[in-house]
């Protein structure tokens, strides 16, 4: 380039061997459909015209080599071919020169060129380099660089074509910016297109179209947001799908996906809100803490955020109510823990402060002193009438005020009772009973009254019981019982008097019933069981010796039954028949256990069972069936039972069960 700086543009084109108006223009760019990425701009090639329209040798300034005469003579008939070869050679040299001149690599010093002295080729090359950047600034710089050439410049048609192409490329970049969601940038780009270009003529229409598309998309998005705010998820999704029909890539992809994500997030937030409410219904501190954390996780941008804030307030109110309940259980620690968990987002700071004041005041009231109660009332004076818990504070203050009066009255009653006499104690009770039963101090007062009343009744009734005991020591139990009965029910010593009466009455009953029971025991020892039973039955129920008499009666009745059963068994056995022996055995088996007759009954059972076995063995010689009947009647746990079972296995036919034992 340095060697052409002083050369005029006309001289430069003369060197090229042909006029610029004969150069072939580069092919027009392929039409770009709307919203498509523009194809790359073809680089300007100054040699394209030379390739299509080679210059003649006469126009070329360089010497052309002439063929040898001998060769010309031999090839006289083919001279056009030689002429064409010479032209190609000359053109090749020209092309090499132009390439060397124009193919300067990207003109790294285009910014440093002094453009008033630069040639048109330099401007074109630098303009191409600027345009190759593919940016609006690059295209505008390229246009400005070659647009400065005169209108009558030989390359004006090529320059105009390049300007139109680059203007179209700026419009394509603006369209791409619009599709990417940068409408203002797109409008700014489009409005920078030179006004004399064809692309500039459609800028207004294109901007109007962009604005219309953008407004319609914004309206659809706003409608979806409105449905989402109202928690109408299906309607919001329906609106969102309309974005897919918007002729803009940003709205049909980025904004559509954004709205779908917002709908899904809102649905998740709503589910989290429902789970938080379910946890809150458990009314436990851990459940409330978990619920608060879930609600706090709902971000400010969520359409559920407003509802979440309401729920936070509700959770805070629940914690305040739980703290109040804990305070009613006299658990101030739990109440303070619950208040500490109330989130600041619930906007319940004033309510929490009031509740803390109530907790502090209540703890002071639990001291049980007048000074503590007065301090508690002073603490609650900070809650004014505009606060939600003003009524509670007033109720507590009234309660404590009443308690102060009750405690003062109770202290006075205690001073009256200090002397300890019956008269003083009764006077103290009268003073204490002036305290209302609705007064918080009444339970304590009632306990104190019971203590004083116990002292009075004990002092009054103790001499009576002492007198009764004196009668008892002298052996006069009826007088002792009569004295103890003077202690009436409801008195402190009534239970003690009744215990003494029961003991003395028992002693009297033993004195009366002891001889009867002793006589019954003597008769039983003598074997007169029936007479013993009759004698012991005279001791009535509720008497001191009744239980002992009943035990003896049970024993004697069993012995009498054993005697009767054994006697019956002997009577049956005396008949001597097989059936009589069987019935005797059955009677002997009914002799009760733990009776004196039981061993004798067992001995008889063994003896009669052996008799039956001998009869069965004898009968087996003549009547096997009868023998089986007799052996079957021998009872278990007798000496003959095992031998009888062996005989039965020998005699019995498995398929024929023995018939019932019949009378002989």
Helix crossing, 120-131 with 156-179: angle to 10°? Answer: 10
Averaged over 67-77, what is the pLDDT?
43
440 is written with which tokens? 């918080």
Averaged over 619-642, what is the pLDDT?
84
- Summarised one tens digit per residue, pLDDT across range 79-129 is 455 456 556 555 655 544 444 334 444 444 777 676 666 666 777 778 778
Averaged over 477-489, what is the pLDDT?
87
Q: Give the list of residues 6+ apart from residue 535 with CB closer than 8 angstroms, or none.
A: 516, 519, 520, 523
Q: Give the list of residues 6+ apart from residue 304 with CB closer than 8 angstroms, or none.
A: 231, 266, 269, 270, 273, 298
Helix (H, G, I), strand (E, B) or coil at 144: helix
Report CA-CA distances (Å) from 110 to 45, 129, 130: 18, 9, 9
Q: Give the list of residues 6+ apart from residue 272 with CB closer than 8 angstroms, or none.
A: 294, 295, 297, 298
DSSP letters for 410-426: HHHHHHHHTT--HHHHH
Percent of the chain with pLDDT strictly greater than 70: 80
Helix (H, G, I), strand (E, B) or coil at 560: helix
The residue that leads in pLDDT, 464 or 558, is 464
Rounded distance between C-alpha atoms, residue 167 and residue 147, angstroms: 12
Rounded distance between C-alpha atoms, residue 617 and residue 630, angstroms: 9
Contact (CB, 8 A) for 556 and 526: no
Q: Give the list of residues 6+ apart from residue 58 with CB closer than 8 angstroms, or none.
A: none
Contact (CB, 8 A) for 36 and 180: no
The residue that leads in pLDDT, 558 or 468, is 468
- Summarised one tens digit per residue, pLDDT across range 180-209 is 999 999 998 888 888 888 777 888 898 999
590 is written with which tokens? 């009914």
Averaged over 485-496, what is the pLDDT?
86
Q: How confident is the model at residue 210 (pLDDT cuts 50, 70, 90)?
A: very high
Rounded distance between C-alpha atoms, residue 529 and residue 198, angstroms: 145
What distance lies between CA 581 and its chain's CA centroid? 83
Rounded distance between C-alpha atoms, residue 546 and residue 509, angstroms: 10
State the first-to-last Cα distance of the chain, in angstroms, to the nearest integer: 159
Contact (CB, 8 A) for 214 and 250: no
366 is written with which tokens? 């639990």
Helix crossing, 349-365 with 390-417: angle to 10°? Answer: 10
Helix (H, G, I), strand (E, B) or coil at 47: coil
Contact (CB, 8 A) for 502 and 510: no
* pLDDT confidence of residue 339: 93
Contact (CB, 8 A) for 614 and 640: no
Contact (CB, 8 A) for 661 and 632: yes
pLDDT of 48 above 70: no
CB-based burial label for 307 (10 Å; 0-12, 13-18, 19+) = middle
- Summarised one tens digit per residue, pLDDT across range 514-569 is 787 788 888 877 777 788 788 778 777 777 777 878 787 877 777 777 777 777 77
Q: Which residue in this structure is represented by tokens 């108006």?
A: 21
Picking from 563, 567, 559, the residue whose alpha carbon sits closest to that of residue 521 is 559
Q: How confident is the model at residue 141 (pLDDT cuts 50, 70, 90)?
A: confident
Lowest mean pLDDT among 21-25, 493-497, 529-533: 21-25
Give the ranges where 108-202 is alpha helix by DSSP (H): 120-131, 136-147, 156-179, 183-191, 198-201
* pLDDT confidence of residue 629: 85
Averaged over 41-60, what is the pLDDT?
36
- Find the length of the chain: 664
**Can you list the domains of the chain with their CATH numbers?**
2-66+83-201 (no CATH), 268-407 (1.25.40), 545-651 (no CATH)
For 664, which DSSP code? -
The residue that leads in pLDDT, 656 or 381, is 381
Contact (CB, 8 A) for 17 and 94: yes
């Amino acid at each position: 380039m340095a060697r052409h700086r002083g050369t005029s543009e006309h001289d430069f084109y003369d060197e090229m061997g042909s006029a610029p108006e004969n150069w072939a223009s580069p092919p027009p760019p392929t039409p770009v459909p709307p919203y498509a990425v523009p194809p790359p701009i073809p680089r300007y090639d100054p040699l394209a015209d030379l390739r299509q329209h080679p210059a003649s040798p006469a126009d070329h300034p360089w010497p052309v080599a002439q063929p040898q005469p001998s060769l010309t003579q031999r090839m006289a008939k083919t001279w056009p071919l030689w002429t064409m070869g010479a032209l190609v050679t000359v053109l090749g040299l020209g092309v090499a020169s132009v390439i060397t001149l124009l193919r300067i690599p990207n003109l790294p010093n285009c910014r440093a060129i002094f453009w008033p002295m630069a040639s048109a080729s330099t401007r074109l090359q630098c303009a191409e380099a600027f345009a190759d950047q593919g940016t609006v600034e690059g295209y505008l710089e390229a246009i400005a660089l070659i647009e400065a050439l005169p209108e009558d410049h030989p390359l004006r048609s090529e320059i105009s074509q390049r300007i139109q192409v680059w203007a179209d490329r700026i419009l394509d970049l603006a369209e791409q910016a619009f599709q990417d969601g940068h409408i203002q940038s797109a409008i700014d780009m489009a409005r920078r297109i030179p006004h004399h270009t064809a692309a500039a003529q459609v800028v207004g229409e294109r901007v109007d179209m962009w604005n219309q598309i953008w407004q319609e998309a914004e309206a659809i998005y706003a409608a979806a947001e409105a449905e989402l705010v109202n928690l109408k998820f299906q309607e919001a999704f329906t609106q969102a799908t309309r974005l897919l029909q918007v002729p803009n890539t940003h709205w049909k992809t980025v904004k559509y996906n954004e709205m779908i994500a917002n709908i899904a997030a809102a649905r998740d937030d709503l589910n989290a809100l429902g789970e938080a409410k379910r946890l809150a219904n458990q009314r436990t501190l851990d459940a409330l803490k978990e619920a608060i954390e879930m609600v706090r996780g709902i971000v400010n941008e969520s359409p559920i955020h407003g509802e979440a804030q309401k729920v936070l307030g509700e959770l805070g109110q629940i914690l305040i109510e739980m703290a109040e309940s804990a305070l009613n259980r006299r658990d101030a620690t739990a109440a303070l823990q619950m208040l500490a968990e109330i989130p600041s987002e619930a906007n319940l700071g004033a309510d929490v402060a009031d509740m803390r004041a109530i907790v502090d005041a209540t703890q002071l009231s639990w001291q049980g002193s007048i000074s503590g109660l007065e301090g508690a009332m002073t603490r609650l004076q900070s809650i004014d009438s505009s606060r939600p818990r003003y009524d509670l504070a007033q109720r507590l203050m009234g309660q404590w005020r009443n308690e102060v009066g009750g405690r003062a009255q109770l202290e006075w009653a205690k001073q009256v009772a200090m002397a300890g006499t019956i008269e003083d104690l009764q006077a103290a009770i009268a003073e204490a009973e002036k305290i209302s039963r609705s007064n918080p101090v009444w339970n304590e007062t009632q306990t104190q009254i019971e203590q004083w009343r116990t002292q009075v009744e004990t002092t009054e009734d103790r001499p009576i019981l002492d007198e009764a005991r004196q009668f008892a020591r002298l052996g006069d139990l009826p007088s002792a019982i009569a004295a103890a009965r003077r202690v009436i029910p409801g008195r402190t010593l009534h239970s003690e008097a009744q215990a003494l009466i029961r003991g003395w009455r028992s002693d009297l009953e033993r004195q009366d019933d002891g001889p009867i029971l002793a006589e019954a025991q003597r008769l039983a020892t003598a074997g007169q069981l029936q007479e013993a039973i009759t004698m012991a039955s005279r001791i009535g129920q509720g008497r001191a010796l009744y239980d002992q008499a009943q035990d003896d009666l049970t024993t004697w009745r069993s012995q009498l039954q054993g005697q009767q059963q054994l006697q019956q068994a002997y009577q049956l056995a005396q008949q001597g028949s097989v059936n009589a022996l069987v019935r005797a055995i059955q009677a002997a088996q009914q002799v009760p256990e733990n009776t004196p007759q039981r061993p004798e009954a067992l001995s008889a059972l063994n003896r009669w069972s052996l008799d039956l076995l001998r009869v069965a063995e004898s009968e087996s010689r003549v009547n096997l069936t009868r023998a089986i009947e007799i052996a079957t009647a021998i009872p278990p746990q007798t000496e003959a039972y095992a031998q009888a079972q062996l005989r039965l296995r020998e005699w019995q036919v498995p398929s024929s069960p023995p018939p019932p034992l019949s009378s002989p």
